[in-house]
């Protein structure tokens, strides 16, 4: 891998969601890899990046909390069974990886009804700490989308965590209200319209393959937004173009740090400096990563 | 503050004070086999707070350190200097009559600054699953 250490000392770094999530949740080997490249650097994220992590991880943790709290659920094991049988998808499976590790460390038994209350308390405590560290660990840049979901507070009183958790889920899940207060349409259709058009033009010259697929899917959604206008901008659509939003909003003076290959196509057309890090699998298996198009 | 809460906080402070002895020993013996004696002791006391002192601010700070130490026996990886830092932090906490949420948050940041990973759990997201063709 090319040595980027000199350039790294001079730049500020804007972290994509995948990098932040890995710094918070990856295996020690991968965390060490990222930390070796990013520690002692000026690291920035945005409220939008925080929102993506809350959407993909924190919301599911809170949902599991309420599954476990159900009167009909007597043990951690029953909650795990219900979760694994009824919910699928990468983000939902992530909870199944977390739960055994977490409760195991507390010596809480998955088959013991007496451990349920302690489990709920320990989990609420972790949820509160995770949100706090996500909110405070990195410096913030301005979020030009003014994502309202990202501003929904999570205020957990550990003596009575239910109201705070429920209020968060309710407000975060109220995408109609959140959308009515954000400016994603202005962001895409006015502020960064020319950049969006450049991305669409770039995509028109690319073949569809495993490397370009993610980028092309994003561009298809951007194309639809440009064609339809503000009515096409909702939180579901925003989720599909999240990498584009992050690339567009990244300060051009900063280097965007990412692991998703889509950024290799999103960044050059808009002159956004970027660096693609090896994936967790590549680091664990010691496979080199190429950054041919890095600035 | 009602009587019940005073009793609860007294109990949490008492247990937190009892951690100081273990932290002091760990700051002397980190890296040595005998450090297991004090790691076992401190982890048991920390876990007892989940049962006995739910909702107490001291418990919140203690569990942050618990997670950093307990997961995959990472208590073995921390240094004497880090344990001394944790000792100093908890000593300052128990010397306060009560701590509020701001103190809790500052304490968690202090633990992180000392190098304790209070979010040690590993979760893997398969992002490729989101890249399915949409056409």
What is the predicted pLDDT for the residue at A238?
Answer: 97
* Cross-chain Cβ contact A105/B55 below 8 Å: no
What is the predicted pLDDT for the residue at A288?
Answer: 67
- Residue A40: which pLDDT band, with cuts at 50, 70 and 90? confident
What is the predicted pLDDT for the residue at B17?
Answer: 95
Distance (Å, whole) CA A182 – CA A143: 10
| Interchain CB contacts (distance < 8 Å): A and B | 102
Distance (Å, whole) CA A153 – CA B122: 25
Residues of B in contact with A21 (CB under 8 A): 125
- With a cut of 60, say whether residue A7 has pLDDT above it: no
Distance (Å, whole) CA A188 – CA B103: 41
* Cross-chain Cβ contact B131/A122 below 8 Å: no
Residues of B in contact with A123 (CB under 8 A): none
Instruction: Please report, for chain A, the start and end positions of each structural domain, with discontinuous segments joined by +.
Output: 50-140+148-181
Task: Work out the angle between the directed axes of helices B3-29 and B57-70 (0-180°, nearest 10).
Answer: 30
Contact at 8 Å (CB) between A14 and A250? yes
Q: How far apart are the first and last CA of chain B?
A: 61
Residues of A in contact with B121 (CB under 8 A): 25, 98, 101-102
Contact at 8 Å (CB) between A125 and A61? no
Distance (Å, whole) CA A26 – CA A31: 6
CA distance B109 to chain A (A): 8
What is the predicted pLDDT for the residue at B11?
Answer: 87
Return the higher-pLDDT residue of A11 and A235. A235
Residues of A in contact with B126 (CB under 8 A): 90, 93
Question: pLDDT for A74-86, tens place per residue?
Answer: 999 999 999 998 8
Contact at 8 Å (CB) between A273 and A252? yes
Contact at 8 Å (CB) between A96 and B31? no
- Which of B63, B71, B124 lies closest to A122 in CB terms? B63
* DSSP output for A150-178: GG------TTSHHHHHHHHHHHHH-HHHH
Contact at 8 Å (CB) between B87 and B27? yes
The percent of chain A in helix, strand and coil, each rounded to the nearest 5, is: 65, 5, 30
- Beta pairing partners, A275: A257
B30 touching A (Cβ < 8 Å): no
Question: pLDDT for A215-254, tens place per residue?
Answer: 999 999 999 999 999 999 999 999 999 999 999 999 999 9
Closest CA to A243 of A227, A266, A220, A226: A266
- With a cut of 50, say whether residue A5 has pLDDT above it: no
- With a cut of 70, say whether residue A292 has pLDDT above it: no
* Cross-chain Cβ contact B70/A105 below 8 Å: yes
ipTM given for this complex: 0.88
Question: pLDDT for B67-96, tens place per residue?
Answer: 999 999 999 999 999 999 999 999 999 999
A55 touching B (Cβ < 8 Å): no
What is the predicted pLDDT for the residue at B5?
Answer: 53
B100 touching A (Cβ < 8 Å): no
Residues of B in contact with A263 (CB under 8 A): none
Structure tokens at B124: 């893997």
- With a cut of 60, say whether residue A67 has pLDDT above it: yes
* DSSP output for chain B: --HHHHHHHHHHHHHHHHHHHHHHHHHHHTTSTTHHHHHHHHHHHHHHHHHH-TT-HHHHHHHHHHHHHHGGGGGGT--HHHHHHHHHHHHHHHTSS---HHHHHHHHHHHHHTT--S--------GGGG-----
CA distance B95 to chain A (A): 23
Question: pLDDT for A120-163, tens place per residue?
Answer: 999 999 999 999 999 999 999 999 999 999 999 999 999 999 99
Residues of B in contact with A159 (CB under 8 A): 54-55
- Residue B132: which pLDDT band, with cuts at 50, 70 and 90? very low
Distance (Å, whole) CA B60 – CA A163: 19
- Residue A285: which pLDDT band, with cuts at 50, 70 and 90? confident
Distance (Å, whole) CA A166 – CA A9: 43
For chain A, give the mean pLDDT.
92
* CA-based R_g, chain B, Å: 18
Point out the least confidently predicted range of A35-44, A61-70, A230-239, A281-290: A281-290
Laid out side by side, the sheet with A274-276 consists of A139-140, A42-45, A12-15, A254-258, A274-276
What is the predicted pLDDT for the residue at A268?
Answer: 97
């Amino acid at each position: 891998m090319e040595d980027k250490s000199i350039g790294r000392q001079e730049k500020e770094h804007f972290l994509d969601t995948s990098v932040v999530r890995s710094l918070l949740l990856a295996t020690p080997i991968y965390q060490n890899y990222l930390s070796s490249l990013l520690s002692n650097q000026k690291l920035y994220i945005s409220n939008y990046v925080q929102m993506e992590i809350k959407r993909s991880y924190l919301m599911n943790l809170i949902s599991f909390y309420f599954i476990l709290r159900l009167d009909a659920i007597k043990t951690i094991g029953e909650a795990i069974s219900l979760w694994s049988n009824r919910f699928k998808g990468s983000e939902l499976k992530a909870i199944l990886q977390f739960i055994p590790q977490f409760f195991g460390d507390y010596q809480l038994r998955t088959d013991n009804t007496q451990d349920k209350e302690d489990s709920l308390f320990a989990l609420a405590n972790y949820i509160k700490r995770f949100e706090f560290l996500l909110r405070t660990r990195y410096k913030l840049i301005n979020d030009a989308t003014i994502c309202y979901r990202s501003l929904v507070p999570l205020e957990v009183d550990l003596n009575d965590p239910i109201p705070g958790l429920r209020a968060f889920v309710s407000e975060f899940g109220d995408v109609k209200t959140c959308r009515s207060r954000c400016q994603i349409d202005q962001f895409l259709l006015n502020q960064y319209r020319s950049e969006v058009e450049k991305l669409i033009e770039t995509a028109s010259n690319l073949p569809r393959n495993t490397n370009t697929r993610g980028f092309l899917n994003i561009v298809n959604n951007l194309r639809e937004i440009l064609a339809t206008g503000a009515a096409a901008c909702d939180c579901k659509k925003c989720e599909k173009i999240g990498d584009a939003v992050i690339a567009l909003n990244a300060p051009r003076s900063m280097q965007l740090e990412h692991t998703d290959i889509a950024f290799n196509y999103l960044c050059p057309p808009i002159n956004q400096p970027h660096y693609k890090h090896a994936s967790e699998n590549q680091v664990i298996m010691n496979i080199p990563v190429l950054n041919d198009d890095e600035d | 503050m009602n009587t019940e809460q005073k009793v609860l906080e007294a109990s949490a402070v008492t247990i937190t004070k009892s951690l100081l002895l273990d932290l002091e020993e760990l700051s002397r013996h980190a890296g040595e086999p005998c450090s297991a004696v004090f790691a076992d002791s401190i982890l048991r006391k920390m876990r007892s707070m989940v049962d006995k002192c739910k909702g107490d601010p001291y418990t919140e700070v203690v569990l942050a350190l618990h997670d950093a130490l307990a997961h995959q026996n990472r208590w073995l990886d921390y240094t004497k200097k880090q344990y001394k830092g944790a000792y100093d932090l908890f000593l300052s906490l128990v010397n306060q009559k009560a701590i509020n949420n701001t103190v809790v948050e500052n304490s968690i940041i202090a633990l992180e600054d000392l190098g304790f990973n209070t979010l040690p759990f590993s979760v893997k997201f398969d992002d490729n699953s989101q890249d399915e063709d949409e056409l």
